Structure 1
């Protein structure tokens, strides 16, 4: 039997997650090596020191995430966490829909589903285009160089979500600060707790206002629908709003910025996009596949022993089902390291799969396609104002950059 010291030494030898990247825009090189020789392998979470399994093949990913014998409960003891907040503090915060299992997850999703149908999302297209044009207008008025992250990538999706939910645009900074602290790896427990108090307090007031004076927005409709059907508690409605904000804010901002970087580094693909607006949607899909910014967003805890490939995952063990590794599997995607905005089919899993597939995936894809097409066709000579080597990438659970100076 291994001694406690031997077990600790063995864990220390496991690759640290997230893994280092030679190319800051590409996946960790170790993913390809592991996928070939040990597609289900052991890792150590660099922030918490937890041991977990890492899944790097597309077929294994889909099989595991669709298996009801795994749990999305982030508050479980061995859930692979990327934030340095003590588990006791995390457990004091209500779970979001991302970390609920059936049947609770099923009920919450049912309440949201009418808001994210294809027809309703298409109805947002005109306003989304208007918002994108407004931000590009401001860029042109200001003139380069500008920080694209601060002037477009972050505020544009933030405004869109504020309008969708009915949150006054003047208050959106509250939610941005909350998300930044939530996903940051340097957040202190005290900062995390205070941010939660601020956001919950603001949402409580907003929900009370919309209960008394409903408007034509998603939050008002959620409140009215829940009052009719009595699916969840009032606090659950608040948590659904928190989930939507958390799921859209930082992810969309980083996808816009990284996609701009990638297109600038691939001029032949950029030329295709500039010349053909019909490629906007497929360009968005390819960027979502290539970057998969929420790489560990489908981490899980095993509820029962599961045989996956040649490995048995034991009850209680944590698993990181890597979205990024799955989306770069050469068995599914030809030449996965190459960006191809005409790629078809493109059956990526950037939004997850199964019951936890991102409910807002149509919004994110539409928004990203519109922003990229609008930006590059209206500012065709957009370029980096610094060297790529000088771009600072975020130390956070969601891949992104601190800033992106551009000019034209």
Structure 2
């Protein structure tokens, strides 16, 4: 979503005298293990931790940062820009520049002070204390869907039965979406996170969500309620200085920052646990291990692997490599979380490790504001599945499952049939 750079240009990332062959990005994940990142990541960490690459869709040059320490360095550097409209920004999905230059940037693509003004309204609403107060309602939503699973009897598709609807309904709760609108909300959000959707269908869903959220915020401006969006509207009225479009933008940040992540983590995280039955049994026997297991799942999967991207506004050195002003950087959180220097035996899933230093939610000023919501939601989902469906297992061979490719968020593509 930035200006195109001519793919035939002779000057590559690293300067005209650098003859190192760039990687093509993104790379394919390992076919033998759906949980593993592309094999090139380990190669980069070992010998070329700040590597040059070119984006497959545009041929645009970019730097790839693969080690944990360097990833934190980049994501914590406030001199680097997240602005999609900057000519050097490494946008990873095809989009005409004329469209990008016209759109209102989402929060994830804003720099201070615009980003700070919006985050200041949102962050206090998503503290761990606030989210823990939501735990009984999250539990109720999960229990209702597990009740339906048990009533239907196995096999059921865990994606449609649990992974899609639970995050959608929770965000209805946060946004104050009326119950009668929840089906529309779920339908549109499911379209927006599919990997097989056509561009016209995707744009129509985005437009439908934009219209709906505008109407929702307009209604809340003159109503009295006790939900996150209404409180944000009130705080903004008292001195925030943002217009309705800005508030809609905050709502979209909540939706897309937490819904897609949680939905994919529920499905893929359940699959990881089922593929590690000894550790699954430990969690069932001792539920106090579940919060740590959630952190390890977040680290091990790092499903939003290449989402954090930046463009430099001044010359900077990262991992011993000089990166010139105006060059793009993609932080590979999936690689950073598999860095043995940060996490011993990092390719091994281990619910007993201290995984809290992972960067699955990003880092710095753009760290996912909904991280606490996702954490608590995953804790409730996995604890409930273990307690209420102790015999949960795959209903099909692992080899028959399909996984997403070519998307910014990794996950199960299609169904995840389970039984008990």
TM over 0.5: yes
1:400 aligns with 2:411: yes
- C-alpha displacement of 1:44: 2.4
Deviations 1:110-150 (A, max 9, x none): 11122012221111111111111111111100111111001
1:332 aligns with 2:362: no
The corresponding residue for 1:305 is 315
Deviations 1:345-373 (A, max 9, x none): 53111111111111111111111011011
Q: How does 1:315-354 map to 2 (within 5 A)?
A: 315-344=325-354, 346-354=356-364
CA distance in 1, matches of 2:180, 2:142: 18
1:72 aligns with 2:91: no
Contact preservation (8 Å) 1:11, 1:44: no
- C-alpha displacement of 1:178: 4.9
The corresponding residue for 2:256 is 246
Contact preservation (8 Å) 2:45, 2:66: yes
CA distance in 1, matches of 2:409, 2:183: 19
1:55 aligns with 2:65: yes
1:14 aligns with 2:23: yes
Distance 1:164 1:125, change over 3 A: same
Q: Which runs of 5+ in 2 are unaligned?
A: 1-6, 13-18
Distance 1:213 1:49, change over 3 A: same
How many residues are aligned here? 405
Q: What secondary structure, in the 3-state scheme, does the structure 2 residue paired with 1:68 have?
A: coil
Give the structure-2-normalised TM-score.
0.91
CA distance in 1, matches of 2:195, 2:128: 35
- C-alpha displacement of 1:46: 2.7
Deviations 1:306-335 (A, max 9, x none): 111221111111111111111111001011
Contact preservation (8 Å) 2:308, 2:362: yes
Q: What secondary structure, in the 3-state scheme, does the structure 2 residue paired with 1:15 have?
A: strand
Contact preservation (8 Å) 2:22, 2:51: no
Contact preservation (8 Å) 1:84, 1:187: no
CA distance in 2, matches of 1:181, 1:302: 34
CA distance in 2, matches of 1:183, 1:311: 36
Deviations 1:209-260 (A, max 9, x none): 1112221111111111111113322210011001111111111010011111
Comparing both structures, which one devotes a greater share of its residues to helix? Answer: 1
Q: How does 1:5-404 map to 2 (within 5 A)?
A: 14-22=23-31, 23-176=33-186, 178-179=188-189, 190-344=200-354, 346-395=356-405, 396-402=407-413, 403-404=415-416
Q: What RMSD, in angstroms, separates the aligned Cα atoms of the two structures?
A: 2.2
Contact preservation (8 Å) 1:85, 1:188: no
Give the structure-1-normalised TM-score.
0.93
CA distance in 2, matches of 1:373, 1:197: 37
CA distance in 1, matches of 2:8, 2:218: 53
CA distance in 2, matches of 1:246, 1:256: 16
Relative to structure 2, which stretch is displaced further, 130-139 or 70-79?
Answer: 70-79
